[in-house]
Amino acid sequence: MSCVPRPLWPLLLAMAALLSACAGGPGGTAVDQPAPVLTASDQTDQDRRARVRLELAAAYFGRGQLETALDETKLAVQVKPDLAEAFNLRALIYAAMGEDRLAEDSFARALQLNPRDGAALHNQAWFLCQRGQYGTAQARFDAALALPQYRDQARSLLARGVCYGRDGKLAEAEAALMRAYELDPANPNTGLNLADVLYRRQAYERASFYIGRVNETPDAVNAQTLWLAARIERKLGRDAAVRVLGDRLRRGFASSAEAALFDRGRFDD
């Protein structure tokens, strides 16, 4: 059984990218000259109304209220038709609805309005990766990571590493995830995915180190992290450690699929 990310975390990646864009972070300007420092007094009433709609849309999207979120992006675009972040968010909403063609069109519009929008490039890359378009996805990650002063390198490197792993390119996946880990060692998703790639590459001692650090963090432990650790320790022949991890699975996550697999001894599924 291969360890893959839970469905929640790609959404969190996308939301982090969206919030970065809404905050006007680096990678969001389409000119090479230094951008002026904007304050509240520089915003027009049109700007403020569009931003309010966009913030509402992001909040509804975060709660899974997709149709309401979509309506708010439409209102934001009505107020300010050149608001690239609104098209970026609209693409994410369409993707969550399963409307891939509409999502593609919205990503294209966002990047037409602002080709240097790192958040939109990241989100488009992950969207393409989820649909098996690995080469094009990696090109979009390249574009995001190449932006000067891009603040979200660790997030994009994590997504890039997962995408390489899905494509079976484990050496490239390890390299991307190691760089992400160097930038943000406290992110449990990075530790989990790095440990999984190392497990798949049969680098069991190293895999044990990284998943061990995740499982030492109370807020990061879950059935998936304990199950991966148990499988790694079994490969290393450390039966006592396997039993301890099995006990933790049963105590904390008795109804999980991972606990059931452990009890049936299905370590290689």
Q: Is residue 38 part of a domain?
A: no
pLDDT in tens, 137-167: 999 999 999 999 899 999 999 999 999 999 9
Residue 22 pLDDT > 90 = no
Q: Is residue 200 part of a domain?
A: yes
Q: Is residue 18 part of a domain?
A: yes
Q: Is residue 88 part of a domain?
A: yes
Structural element, H or E, at residue 101: helix 100-113
Q: pLDDT at position 8, please?
A: 39
CATH code assigned at 70: 1.25.40.10
Q: Is residue 239 part of a domain?
A: no
Residue 3 pLDDT > 50 = no
- Max alpha carbon distance in the chain (Å)? 66
- Predicted model pTM: 0.83
Q: Is residue 3 part of a domain?
A: no
pLDDT in tens, 31-68: 445 556 555 555 688 889 999 999 999 999 999 999 99
Q: Is residue 209 part of a domain?
A: yes
Mean pLDDT of 176-180: 98
pLDDT in tens, 216-229: 999 999 999 999 99
Domain count, the chain: 1
Mean pLDDT of 101-124: 97
Q: Is residue 90 part of a domain?
A: yes
Segments forming the whole domain that contains residue 196: 8-28+45-220
